[in-house]
Amino acid sequence: MSTPNLLRSFNFLYFALLAMFIPFLPVYLDSQNFSPAQIGLVIGTGGFITIIAQPLWGMISDKTRTIRNVLLLLLLCSAVTGYLLYNSGSYVQLILVAMLLYFFLMPVDPLTESLNFRIAESSGISYGSIRTYGALGYGVMSLLTGYCLLYFGAFGLGVLFAGTSLLCFLLCWRMPDAPVTGKPVTLDSLKLFLSNKETLLFLVLIFISSVPARMNDTFIGVYILELGGKSALVGQSFFIAAISEIVVFALSFRWLKKGKELIIITFAGAFYFLRFFLSAWISDPHLLTYLQVLQLLTFPVFYSAAIQYLYSIVPEEWRATGQTVLALLFFGVSGILASYAGGAIYQAFGGRVLYLSIAAMSFAGMLFGLLLYRIYGRHTNKTGQPAESQQ
Protein backbone atom coordinates (compact mmCIF):
# COMPACT_ATOMS: atom_id res chain seq x y z
CA MET A 1 0.00 0.00 0.00
CA SER A 2 1.36 3.44 -0.92
CA THR A 3 2.20 5.99 1.78
CA PRO A 4 -0.77 8.31 0.97
CA ASN A 5 -3.18 5.37 1.11
CA LEU A 6 -1.68 4.23 4.42
CA LEU A 7 -2.20 7.73 5.76
CA ARG A 8 -5.79 7.87 4.45
CA SER A 9 -6.52 4.60 6.27
CA PHE A 10 -4.82 5.93 9.39
CA ASN A 11 -6.98 9.08 9.29
CA PHE A 12 -10.11 6.97 8.91
CA LEU A 13 -9.27 4.86 11.98
CA TYR A 14 -7.97 7.69 14.19
CA PHE A 15 -11.03 9.86 13.66
CA ALA A 16 -13.13 6.74 14.24
CA LEU A 17 -11.50 6.59 17.68
CA LEU A 18 -12.44 10.22 18.28
CA ALA A 19 -16.03 9.35 17.30
CA MET A 20 -16.12 6.66 20.00
CA PHE A 21 -14.74 9.04 22.59
CA ILE A 22 -15.91 12.65 22.09
CA PRO A 23 -19.64 12.17 21.29
CA PHE A 24 -20.17 9.09 23.45
CA LEU A 25 -18.27 9.93 26.63
CA PRO A 26 -21.19 12.18 27.76
CA VAL A 27 -23.65 9.41 26.83
CA TYR A 28 -21.62 6.83 28.76
CA LEU A 29 -21.32 9.11 31.79
CA ASP A 30 -25.08 9.69 31.67
CA SER A 31 -25.63 5.91 31.68
CA GLN A 32 -23.43 5.74 34.80
CA ASN A 33 -25.79 8.18 36.56
CA PHE A 34 -23.60 11.26 36.29
CA SER A 35 -25.58 14.50 36.43
CA PRO A 36 -25.25 17.07 33.60
CA ALA A 37 -23.12 19.26 35.89
CA GLN A 38 -20.82 16.32 36.66
CA ILE A 39 -20.58 15.46 32.95
CA GLY A 40 -19.61 19.05 32.18
CA LEU A 41 -17.01 18.97 34.97
CA VAL A 42 -15.40 15.78 33.65
CA ILE A 43 -15.28 16.97 30.02
CA GLY A 44 -14.16 20.48 30.96
CA THR A 45 -11.30 19.05 33.03
CA GLY A 46 -10.43 16.87 30.06
CA GLY A 47 -10.18 20.08 28.03
CA PHE A 48 -7.60 21.46 30.46
CA ILE A 49 -5.59 18.25 30.16
CA THR A 50 -5.77 18.45 26.35
CA ILE A 51 -4.39 22.01 26.37
CA ILE A 52 -1.44 20.79 28.45
CA ALA A 53 -0.94 17.44 26.70
CA GLN A 54 -0.93 18.64 23.08
CA PRO A 55 2.02 21.05 23.39
CA LEU A 56 3.79 18.64 25.76
CA TRP A 57 3.74 15.77 23.28
CA GLY A 58 4.54 18.23 20.50
CA MET A 59 7.67 19.24 22.42
CA ILE A 60 8.57 15.58 22.91
CA SER A 61 8.12 15.04 19.17
CA ASP A 62 10.33 18.09 18.46
CA LYS A 63 13.00 16.89 20.89
CA THR A 64 13.11 13.33 19.55
CA ARG A 65 12.79 14.51 15.92
CA THR A 66 10.06 11.98 15.16
CA ILE A 67 6.30 12.00 14.73
CA ARG A 68 5.68 8.32 14.01
CA ASN A 69 7.35 6.93 17.13
CA VAL A 70 5.45 9.34 19.38
CA LEU A 71 2.21 8.34 17.65
CA LEU A 72 2.98 4.66 18.25
CA LEU A 73 3.41 5.25 21.98
CA LEU A 74 0.26 7.38 22.23
CA LEU A 75 -1.87 4.86 20.32
CA LEU A 76 -0.69 1.95 22.44
CA CYS A 77 -1.49 3.83 25.64
CA SER A 78 -4.85 4.90 24.16
CA ALA A 79 -5.77 1.27 23.42
CA VAL A 80 -5.24 0.31 27.07
CA THR A 81 -6.91 3.34 28.63
CA GLY A 82 -9.83 3.25 26.17
CA TYR A 83 -10.56 -0.37 27.06
CA LEU A 84 -10.36 0.44 30.78
CA LEU A 85 -12.58 3.51 30.39
CA TYR A 86 -15.58 1.52 29.18
CA ASN A 87 -15.02 -1.18 31.80
CA SER A 88 -14.50 1.02 34.85
CA GLY A 89 -15.82 -0.33 38.12
CA SER A 90 -16.09 2.90 40.10
CA TYR A 91 -16.60 6.65 39.66
CA VAL A 92 -13.04 7.40 40.72
CA GLN A 93 -11.55 4.87 38.29
CA LEU A 94 -13.78 6.10 35.45
CA ILE A 95 -12.77 9.75 35.92
CA LEU A 96 -9.07 8.90 36.29
CA VAL A 97 -9.01 6.75 33.14
CA ALA A 98 -11.01 9.36 31.18
CA MET A 99 -8.38 11.98 32.04
CA LEU A 100 -5.62 9.60 30.94
CA LEU A 101 -7.39 9.04 27.63
CA TYR A 102 -7.57 12.80 27.08
CA PHE A 103 -3.83 12.89 27.79
CA PHE A 104 -2.94 10.13 25.30
CA LEU A 105 -5.59 10.29 22.54
CA MET A 106 -6.13 14.01 21.93
CA PRO A 107 -2.44 14.89 21.19
CA VAL A 108 -2.56 12.43 18.28
CA ASP A 109 -4.68 14.97 16.36
CA PRO A 110 -2.08 17.73 15.75
CA LEU A 111 0.65 15.15 15.12
CA THR A 112 -1.58 13.45 12.54
CA GLU A 113 -2.26 16.78 10.85
CA SER A 114 1.51 17.34 10.62
CA LEU A 115 1.87 14.00 8.87
CA ASN A 116 -1.07 14.83 6.58
CA PHE A 117 0.45 18.13 5.44
CA ARG A 118 4.01 16.81 5.01
CA ILE A 119 3.15 13.60 3.20
CA ALA A 120 0.58 15.34 0.98
CA GLU A 121 3.20 17.92 0.03
CA SER A 122 5.94 15.36 -0.63
CA SER A 123 3.56 13.16 -2.66
CA GLY A 124 2.19 16.02 -4.77
CA ILE A 125 -1.44 15.49 -3.67
CA SER A 126 -3.93 17.73 -1.90
CA TYR A 127 -4.26 17.76 1.87
CA GLY A 128 -8.04 17.46 1.49
CA SER A 129 -7.73 14.18 -0.40
CA ILE A 130 -6.25 12.70 2.78
CA ARG A 131 -8.19 14.56 5.48
CA THR A 132 -11.58 13.71 3.95
CA TYR A 133 -11.08 10.12 5.09
CA GLY A 134 -10.92 11.37 8.67
CA ALA A 135 -14.38 12.92 8.37
CA LEU A 136 -15.62 9.70 6.78
CA GLY A 137 -14.20 7.60 9.62
CA TYR A 138 -15.78 9.89 12.21
CA GLY A 139 -19.19 9.62 10.57
CA VAL A 140 -19.17 5.86 10.01
CA MET A 141 -17.93 5.04 13.51
CA SER A 142 -20.43 7.44 15.11
CA LEU A 143 -23.19 5.37 13.53
CA LEU A 144 -21.64 2.01 14.48
CA THR A 145 -20.86 3.07 18.04
CA GLY A 146 -24.46 3.97 18.78
CA TYR A 147 -25.61 0.48 17.80
CA CYS A 148 -22.67 -1.17 19.58
CA LEU A 149 -23.53 0.60 22.82
CA LEU A 150 -27.21 -0.29 22.43
CA TYR A 151 -26.74 -4.01 21.74
CA PHE A 152 -23.43 -4.89 23.43
CA GLY A 153 -23.13 -2.30 26.18
CA ALA A 154 -20.03 -0.58 27.48
CA PHE A 155 -17.91 -3.76 27.38
CA GLY A 156 -18.49 -4.12 23.64
CA LEU A 157 -17.54 -0.48 23.15
CA GLY A 158 -14.33 -1.02 25.12
CA VAL A 159 -13.37 -3.96 22.91
CA LEU A 160 -14.20 -2.01 19.75
CA PHE A 161 -12.11 0.95 20.93
CA ALA A 162 -9.10 -1.18 21.84
CA GLY A 163 -9.30 -3.13 18.58
CA THR A 164 -9.53 0.01 16.45
CA SER A 165 -6.59 1.54 18.37
CA LEU A 166 -4.44 -1.51 17.66
CA LEU A 167 -5.32 -1.42 13.94
CA CYS A 168 -4.36 2.25 13.95
CA PHE A 169 -1.09 1.29 15.67
CA LEU A 170 -0.29 -1.31 12.99
CA LEU A 171 -0.95 1.17 10.17
CA CYS A 172 1.25 3.75 11.86
CA TRP A 173 4.00 1.12 12.21
CA ARG A 174 4.07 0.73 8.42
CA MET A 175 4.11 4.46 7.65
CA PRO A 176 7.34 6.38 7.04
CA ASP A 177 8.29 9.04 9.54
CA ALA A 178 8.24 12.78 8.92
CA PRO A 179 10.84 14.93 10.69
CA VAL A 180 9.54 17.79 12.78
CA THR A 181 10.74 21.14 11.46
CA GLY A 182 8.14 23.61 12.77
CA LYS A 183 9.11 26.17 15.39
CA PRO A 184 7.17 26.09 18.66
CA VAL A 185 4.96 29.02 19.62
CA THR A 186 6.79 31.24 22.13
CA LEU A 187 5.36 33.83 24.48
CA ASP A 188 7.07 36.64 22.56
CA SER A 189 5.66 35.46 19.22
CA LEU A 190 2.21 35.15 20.76
CA LYS A 191 2.35 38.73 22.10
CA LEU A 192 3.41 40.07 18.70
CA PHE A 193 0.70 38.07 16.96
CA LEU A 194 -2.01 39.40 19.29
CA SER A 195 -0.87 43.03 19.06
CA ASN A 196 -2.86 43.52 15.83
CA LYS A 197 -6.36 44.88 16.59
CA GLU A 198 -8.05 43.19 13.63
CA THR A 199 -6.55 39.84 14.56
CA LEU A 200 -7.60 40.24 18.19
CA LEU A 201 -11.19 41.16 17.30
CA PHE A 202 -11.36 38.25 14.88
CA LEU A 203 -10.24 35.83 17.61
CA VAL A 204 -12.93 37.26 19.90
CA LEU A 205 -15.46 36.43 17.17
CA ILE A 206 -14.10 32.89 16.98
CA PHE A 207 -14.42 32.47 20.73
CA ILE A 208 -17.98 33.86 20.93
CA SER A 209 -19.12 31.60 18.10
CA SER A 210 -17.29 28.45 19.18
CA VAL A 211 -18.60 28.23 22.76
CA PRO A 212 -22.21 27.40 21.71
CA ALA A 213 -20.93 24.96 19.07
CA ARG A 214 -18.89 23.11 21.70
CA MET A 215 -21.86 23.11 24.12
CA ASN A 216 -23.94 21.41 21.47
CA ASP A 217 -21.23 18.83 20.76
CA THR A 218 -21.03 17.98 24.46
CA PHE A 219 -24.71 17.79 25.36
CA ILE A 220 -26.58 16.84 22.17
CA GLY A 221 -26.28 13.15 23.03
CA VAL A 222 -27.58 13.68 26.56
CA TYR A 223 -30.45 15.82 25.21
CA ILE A 224 -31.47 13.12 22.70
CA LEU A 225 -31.56 10.57 25.53
CA GLU A 226 -33.61 12.94 27.68
CA LEU A 227 -36.17 13.25 24.87
CA GLY A 228 -36.55 9.48 24.79
CA GLY A 229 -33.99 8.51 22.12
CA LYS A 230 -31.54 5.61 22.34
CA SER A 231 -27.77 5.52 21.96
CA ALA A 232 -28.19 4.34 18.35
CA LEU A 233 -30.01 7.61 17.62
CA VAL A 234 -27.12 9.56 19.13
CA GLY A 235 -24.81 7.77 16.72
CA GLN A 236 -27.08 8.61 13.81
CA SER A 237 -27.06 12.30 14.75
CA PHE A 238 -23.24 12.49 14.69
CA PHE A 239 -23.17 10.41 11.50
CA ILE A 240 -25.48 12.87 9.74
CA ALA A 241 -23.42 15.83 10.95
CA ALA A 242 -20.05 14.31 9.99
CA ILE A 243 -21.10 13.06 6.56
CA SER A 244 -22.57 16.45 5.68
CA GLU A 245 -19.16 18.05 6.31
CA ILE A 246 -17.44 15.99 3.62
CA VAL A 247 -19.27 17.63 0.72
CA VAL A 248 -18.66 21.15 2.01
CA PHE A 249 -14.96 20.61 2.66
CA ALA A 250 -14.49 18.89 -0.71
CA LEU A 251 -16.14 21.76 -2.61
CA SER A 252 -14.66 24.63 -0.59
CA PHE A 253 -12.55 25.71 -3.56
CA ARG A 254 -15.81 26.64 -5.33
CA TRP A 255 -17.64 28.61 -2.66
CA LEU A 256 -14.87 30.03 -0.45
CA LYS A 257 -13.98 33.32 -2.16
CA LYS A 258 -11.19 35.64 -1.07
CA GLY A 259 -12.43 38.83 0.55
CA LYS A 260 -15.80 37.26 1.42
CA GLU A 261 -14.71 35.35 4.52
CA LEU A 262 -16.36 37.57 7.15
CA ILE A 263 -19.76 37.54 5.47
CA ILE A 264 -19.46 33.75 5.04
CA ILE A 265 -18.63 33.41 8.76
CA THR A 266 -21.67 35.56 9.57
CA PHE A 267 -23.80 33.35 7.29
CA ALA A 268 -22.64 30.27 9.22
CA GLY A 269 -23.41 32.09 12.49
CA ALA A 270 -26.98 32.69 11.33
CA PHE A 271 -27.46 28.97 10.69
CA TYR A 272 -25.87 28.12 14.04
CA PHE A 273 -28.54 30.34 15.64
CA LEU A 274 -31.33 28.71 13.60
CA ARG A 275 -30.07 25.21 14.39
CA PHE A 276 -29.87 25.75 18.15
CA PHE A 277 -33.09 27.76 18.39
CA LEU A 278 -35.03 25.00 16.64
CA SER A 279 -33.32 22.40 18.87
CA ALA A 280 -34.77 24.11 21.95
CA TRP A 281 -38.36 23.58 20.75
CA ILE A 282 -38.10 20.10 19.26
CA SER A 283 -39.52 17.35 21.48
CA ASP A 284 -39.09 14.42 19.07
CA PRO A 285 -35.58 12.91 19.35
CA HIS A 286 -35.73 11.66 15.75
CA LEU A 287 -36.50 15.13 14.44
CA LEU A 288 -33.63 16.53 16.53
CA THR A 289 -31.35 13.93 14.97
CA TYR A 290 -32.37 14.88 11.43
CA LEU A 291 -31.84 18.55 12.28
CA GLN A 292 -28.10 17.84 12.54
CA VAL A 293 -27.97 18.03 8.74
CA LEU A 294 -27.63 21.79 9.36
CA GLN A 295 -24.01 20.99 10.20
CA LEU A 296 -23.70 21.29 6.41
CA LEU A 297 -24.07 25.08 6.73
CA THR A 298 -22.37 25.66 10.08
CA PHE A 299 -19.05 24.15 11.20
CA PRO A 300 -17.35 23.36 7.86
CA VAL A 301 -18.41 26.74 6.42
CA PHE A 302 -17.39 28.63 9.55
CA TYR A 303 -14.04 26.91 10.11
CA SER A 304 -12.91 26.94 6.46
CA ALA A 305 -13.66 30.65 6.14
CA ALA A 306 -12.03 31.38 9.50
CA ILE A 307 -8.74 29.75 8.50
CA GLN A 308 -8.67 31.54 5.13
CA TYR A 309 -9.45 34.92 6.72
CA LEU A 310 -6.79 34.42 9.35
CA TYR A 311 -4.24 33.65 6.63
CA SER A 312 -5.23 36.85 4.82
CA ILE A 313 -4.67 39.18 7.79
CA VAL A 314 -1.44 37.83 9.26
CA PRO A 315 2.03 37.76 7.70
CA GLU A 316 3.15 34.41 6.37
CA GLU A 317 5.68 33.90 9.16
CA TRP A 318 2.86 34.11 11.75
CA ARG A 319 0.47 31.66 10.08
CA ALA A 320 1.56 28.68 12.13
CA THR A 321 1.10 30.73 15.31
CA GLY A 322 -2.28 31.94 14.07
CA GLN A 323 -3.59 28.48 13.30
CA THR A 324 -2.38 27.21 16.68
CA VAL A 325 -4.25 29.99 18.48
CA LEU A 326 -7.34 29.47 16.30
CA ALA A 327 -7.45 25.75 17.10
CA LEU A 328 -6.78 26.47 20.77
CA LEU A 329 -9.77 28.83 20.93
CA PHE A 330 -12.17 26.75 18.84
CA PHE A 331 -11.41 23.32 20.28
CA GLY A 332 -9.67 24.01 23.60
CA VAL A 333 -10.53 27.07 25.67
CA SER A 334 -14.09 27.31 24.35
CA GLY A 335 -14.62 23.61 25.08
CA ILE A 336 -13.65 24.09 28.72
CA LEU A 337 -16.08 26.97 29.22
CA ALA A 338 -18.76 25.16 27.22
CA SER A 339 -18.49 22.04 29.37
CA TYR A 340 -18.47 23.78 32.75
CA ALA A 341 -21.10 26.44 31.98
CA GLY A 342 -23.21 24.15 29.79
CA GLY A 343 -23.31 21.46 32.46
CA ALA A 344 -24.36 23.98 35.11
CA ILE A 345 -27.13 25.43 32.90
CA TYR A 346 -28.39 21.98 31.91
CA GLN A 347 -28.39 20.83 35.54
CA ALA A 348 -30.25 23.90 36.79
CA PHE A 349 -32.70 24.60 33.96
CA GLY A 350 -32.78 21.64 31.57
CA GLY A 351 -32.01 21.08 27.90
CA ARG A 352 -34.47 23.60 26.45
CA VAL A 353 -33.00 26.52 28.39
CA LEU A 354 -29.50 25.35 27.49
CA TYR A 355 -30.32 25.45 23.77
CA LEU A 356 -32.06 28.80 24.04
CA SER A 357 -28.92 30.10 25.77
CA ILE A 358 -26.56 28.83 23.09
CA ALA A 359 -28.90 30.13 20.38
CA ALA A 360 -28.62 33.58 21.99
CA MET A 361 -24.82 33.27 22.04
CA SER A 362 -24.81 32.29 18.36
CA PHE A 363 -27.00 35.28 17.56
CA ALA A 364 -24.52 37.53 19.37
CA GLY A 365 -21.71 35.98 17.34
CA MET A 366 -23.62 36.63 14.12
CA LEU A 367 -24.11 40.31 15.04
CA PHE A 368 -20.44 40.65 15.96
CA GLY A 369 -19.51 39.09 12.61
CA LEU A 370 -21.68 41.66 10.82
CA LEU A 371 -19.94 44.43 12.76
CA LEU A 372 -16.50 43.16 11.77
CA TYR A 373 -17.62 42.83 8.16
CA ARG A 374 -18.78 46.46 8.23
CA ILE A 375 -15.39 47.55 9.58
CA TYR A 376 -13.02 45.18 7.78
CA GLY A 377 -15.08 43.69 4.95
CA ARG A 378 -13.30 45.73 2.28
CA HIS A 379 -10.09 45.99 4.27
CA THR A 380 -6.80 45.53 2.43
CA ASN A 381 -4.98 42.36 3.40
CA LYS A 382 -1.28 41.89 4.10
CA THR A 383 -0.35 42.07 0.43
CA GLY A 384 -1.68 45.64 0.34
CA GLN A 385 -4.35 44.89 -2.25
CA PRO A 386 -8.10 45.11 -1.64
CA ALA A 387 -9.32 41.64 -0.71
CA GLU A 388 -12.27 41.78 -3.08
CA SER A 389 -10.04 42.57 -6.05
CA GLN A 390 -8.17 39.29 -5.71
CA GLN A 391 -11.01 36.94 -6.54
DSSP 272-307: HHHHHHHHHH---HHHHHHHGGGGGGSHHHHHHHHH
CB contact set of 188 (below 8 Å; sequence gap of 6+): none
Interval 346-378: pLDDT, tens = 999 999 999 999 999 999 999 999 999 999 875
What is the pLDDT at residue 321? 59
The Cα–Cα gap between 59 and 54 comes to 9
Q: Which residues of the chain have pLDDT under 50?
A: 380-391
Q: What is this structure's pTM? A: 0.80
Interval 263-318: pLDDT, tens = 999 999 999 999 999 999 999 999 999 999 999 999 888 988 887 888 788 776 56
What is the pLDDT at residue 115? 78
Cα torsion at 173, 174, 180, 182 (round to 10°)?
-110
Angle between helices 197-226 and 24-31 (to 10 degrees): 40
The Cα–Cα gap between 100 and 130 comes to 28
Distance of CA 12 to the CA centre of its chain: 15
SS3 28: helix
Contact 209, 362 (CB under 8 A): yes
